[in-house]
Structure 1
Amino acid sequence: MQETKKRASARSESPRTSGEIHRWLRRLARENPDIFGRGGQWKIRPVKEQHASSHVTEVYQIDDKRVHVKFFRRTLGPTSTTYEPCREMATEFATLKEYERRGFGSGKYQVARALGSDERLDCALATLYVGGFTLQSLIQDVIHGKRGPAELYMGLELTAGLLRRIHTEMPQSYYIDQCEMFYSYLKALLRLEETGALGGFHRKAMRNMARWYEHQPLFRQRGVTVHGDANPSNFKIKDGIIYAFDVERSRPRRSKCVDLGSIAADLWHQFAYEGGDGNKAEPYVQHFIRAYEPDRKHRNEIQDLLPFYTSQSLYKIASLGFWDGEYRRRLIEEGTRRAEEVPELSK
């Protein structure tokens, strides 16, 4: 009985009460009159909506507008030992503001608009809600015959255009962060190794990585700012405009192939998991790459390096805890096969 009272007291003292969240949202409405108007009563109510995320998220209706709130202290999966929720919240808020400052709040290719953040409310970050549909739902609808392939081709063209804009208009550098490149690859492999999932692929994976380490073009890439978590659930399309979300992993001095490989890997994964045949994703992957880079010479350079990054993303997907052993093995096998595609350089 006493323990029950303690738990009830803890809940009542939690900073993340609906009343405090509503007061915070009203303050954000006052601070953003260009969106919410001036002097309104701002009736607020929660709205139920499913959203694929690694954190607890909620949507609130404020009169005729909606706000999306992500709580960084409420994670839905494993986090690293160095994860600090309020630091991550502050990083994403600052990143969103930088995108806004550079013009990503208008036009055909946009990034979600940040409204505010508050450490006291479970490290909450509020962004202006965008309707429409995610690229992931579009992929799945095409796989299940609910939409035609032409719609997915158009969706991938929009995604390619947005990523290209990010890669060209955000900060660039002469070189990529080479240590981070291999650290990210190793991290995905080590997660699989720790759970015993890598199995007989361990030796092949290490050998492939050593071969890529000798591939000099991998190290001569120019650095760009990447989205950093370019999976299809983080892009929404509405009225011919595409919006990017969840940019807390957006970083400079990365290869553009980080984002391109993520999309390519997720297309294979969606067609394999939802449709039973990952090879059916290939026409869409090629269309996406052509839309991103129309120039054949530069596109060939991307195609040479893409297997390394696609492999990394497939290993990363495999390390998630959602899959049964058989499907996880398929992901690892495909990731290993992609990593074997090290280009042969002419002497």
Structure 2
Amino acid sequence: MEGRHGTRKIISPGDPFRDWVVSLFDGQVRDPACCLTVSQIRPASHMVCRCTSDGGDLDVVVKFFAEPTGKIREYDPERAMKREYRMLKKAQKAGVPVAQPLAVNRTFKCALVTAYVPGTPLGVHITDCSSLYSRLSAVAGVMRLLHARRSSSYEKAREFSTFHDVLDQVELSQRKRGRFNDLLGAWWHSGDLDRRRGCMIHRDATPANYLFQGEQVTAIDFESAWTRAHPVHDLGVFCAEMKSLFREQYGDPSAAEPYIGHLLREYAGSSAEFEGVVAALPFFMALGYLRTARLDLGEKDQRWLIKEAERCLRRP
């Protein structure tokens, strides 16, 4: 789990947090009296630290839900902590390669402990186009495993509610917001997003949340995961992020299209499923663009993202 590391500090035996973390590895740490080195990992929406023992036989990541660092601060940290732990367990049970969830503890600022995952995020490999196809095949496989965890129902209204929530966070003129509302209405009635059953999704399926060590991939950060969702939600967000990355890296978002096509073909199990994915994809790609447009970007970048989102939503 590579990231930009901030200040490091050493915590010694007798520190309650250190003693609790070491206790999770009872009998597995060669020196139970070891010190822990704590290093902050950035960027992250909460305080996130890597904790390692002197001998290296203890290596974990701790997310402190009661210490938000992003814009969203009005939430129940204990509930969020337990929810991500539960979602990681669900994904793990489905065979999805995830950072192993180890423990939660509300006493220590609502801490979630997971095993440390070495590797680099997929976005780092954008420049290595020769290996990108195989890495995207691996990502498609992970998505299929996760989406195979079916739900008994599907909440289409929640997908649209989320879209409207994201629109609320993007600065749009009243006229443009009205245009988006009309486009969303056409999608609601189109039937392209209808299905009988939903599934589990990551919901923040960005290239940054797929770590590679060699050809092995691990999905991380299940804080936003959902059940009863549309599987193409993850694909759409991921594809929008890919086009944005290629625009940033090469100045040409269309250069991502062969890779996106490969991802979708690897994901779809049949021609009928591929057609269903393609039919729903523009809606969720638009959502992906608007998610990014919420960030503090330059006017030119934000304008491009909003324009692309609107273009995706326009129906033939």
Q: Percent identity?
A: 26
Q: Which residue among 221, 228, 236 is the counterpart of 1:246?
A: 221
Q: Which residue does the alignment assign to 1:96? A: 88
* Residue 190 (1) aligns with residue 168 (2): yes
1:171 and 2:156 matched: no
Aligned to 2:63: 70
Contact 1:52 1:233 in 2 (8 A): no
C-alpha displacement of 1:250 = 1.7
Q: In the aligned structure 2, how far is the partner of 1:217 from the partner of 1:268?
A: 23
- CA pair 40-138 structure 1, distance change in 2 beyond 3 A: same
2:159 maps to 1:181: yes
Match of 1:304 in 2: 279
1:61/1:272 Cα in 2 relative to 1: closer, same or farther (>3 Å)? Answer: same
State yes or no: 1:134 paired with 2:118.
Answer: no
Q: Among 31, 44, 48, which residue is 1:53 paired with?
A: 44
Supply the distance in 1 between the matched residues of 2:135 and 2:174 (Cα, whole angstroms).
37
TM-score when normalising by structure 2:
0.88
For residues 72-111 of structure 1, what are the alpha-carbon distances to aligned partners after superposition, in whole Å with 9 as ceiling and x for unaligned? Answer: 1121212164x111110011112222333x253xxxx501
Q: Which amino acid aligns with 2:67?
A: R
2:40·2:47 contact (CA, 8 Å) conserved in 1?
Answer: no
Instruction: Give the Cα–Cα distance (whole angstroms) in 2 for the partners of residues 189 and 159 of structure 1.
Output: 28
Q: Does 1:79 align with 2:76?
A: no
Q: Does 1:157 align with 2:156?
A: no
Confirm or deny: 8 A CA contact 2:192 2:279 kept in the other structure. Answer: no
Superposition pairs for residues 100-139 of structure 1, below 5 Å?
A: 100=92, 102=93, 104=95, 109-139=96-126
Q: Deviations over 1:156-182 (max 9, x none)?
A: 1111100101111x2333x42022011
Kindly report which structure 2 residues correspond to 1:260-279, keeping only aligned pairs within 5 A, or say none.
260-279=235-254
Q: Matches of 2:173 and 2:210 in 1, distance apart?
A: 30
Tell me which residue corresponds to 2:5: none
Distance 1:80 1:48, change over 3 A: closer
* SS of residue matched to 1:218: coil
1:121 shift after superposition: 1.2
1:226/1:259 contact within 8 Å kept: yes
Between the aligned partners of 1:136 and 1:19, the Cα distance in structure 2 is 37
Aligned mates of 1:298, 1:327 — CA distance in 2? 33
Please say if residues 228 and 258 of structure 1, whose CA atoms lie closer than 8 Å, have aligned partners that are also in contact.
Answer: yes
Residues 23-62 of structure 1: pairs in structure 2 closer than 5 A: 23-30=19-26, 37=28, 40-41=31-32, 43-46=34-37, 48=39, 50-62=41-53
- The alpha-carbon deviation at position 221 of structure 1 amounts to 5.3
* Structure 1 residue runs without a partner (length 5+): 1-17
Look up the equivalent residue of 1:54 and give its one-letter code.
Answer: S
Structure ID, larger Rg: 1
Distance 1:267 1:198 in 2: 27
Q: Distance in 2 between matches of 1:332 and 1:161?
A: 30
* Distance of 2:22 and 2:208 partners within structure 1: 28
Match of 2:193 among 212, 215, 218: 218
| Deviation of the 1:318 alpha carbon | 0.5
For the aligned residue pairs, the C-alpha RMSD in angstroms reads 2.2
Tell me the distance in 2 between the aligned counterparts of 1:29 and 1:198: 55
* CA 204–233 in structure 1, closer or farther in 2 if over 3 Å, else same: same
Cα distance in 2 for residues equivalent to 1:76 and 1:38: 32
Cα distance, 1:40–1:337 mapped onto 2, change above 3 Å: same
Distance in structure 1 (CA, Å) of the matches to 2:144 and 2:277: 13
Q: Cα distance, 1:45 vs. partner?
A: 3.0
State the secondary structure of the residue aligned to 1:225.
strand
Structure with more of its chain in helix, by fraction = 1
SS at match of 1:23: helix
Q: Residue 8 of structure 2 aligns with which residue?
A: none
**Deviations along 1:42-76, whole A, 9 cap, x unmatched?**
63433547444211111111232411111111212
AA paired with 1:288?
A: L
Does the Cα contact within 8 Å between 1:197 and 1:329 map onto a contact in 2? Answer: no
Structure 1 contact 44–60 (Cα < 8 Å) conserved: no
Change (3 A) 1:212 1:112: same
The AA in structure 2 aligned to 1:127 is: T
Q: Distance in 2 between matches of 1:42 and 1:296?
A: 58
Distance 1:283 1:198 in 2: 34
Structure 1: distance between partners of 2:141 and 2:118: 20
How many angstroms does 1:337 deviate by?
A: 0.6
Question: Match of 2:45, as an amino acid?
Answer: S
Whole-Å separation in 2 of the counterparts to 1:49 and 1:236: 18
Deviation of the 1:246 alpha carbon? 1.1
Q: Aligned pair in 2 of structure 1 residues 310, 103: CA closer, same or farther (>3 Å)?
A: closer
Which deviations, in whole Å up to 9, do the C-alpha atoms of 1:240-271 show, x marking residues without a partner? Answer: 32111111222211000111111101101111
TM-score, structure 1 as length reference: 0.81
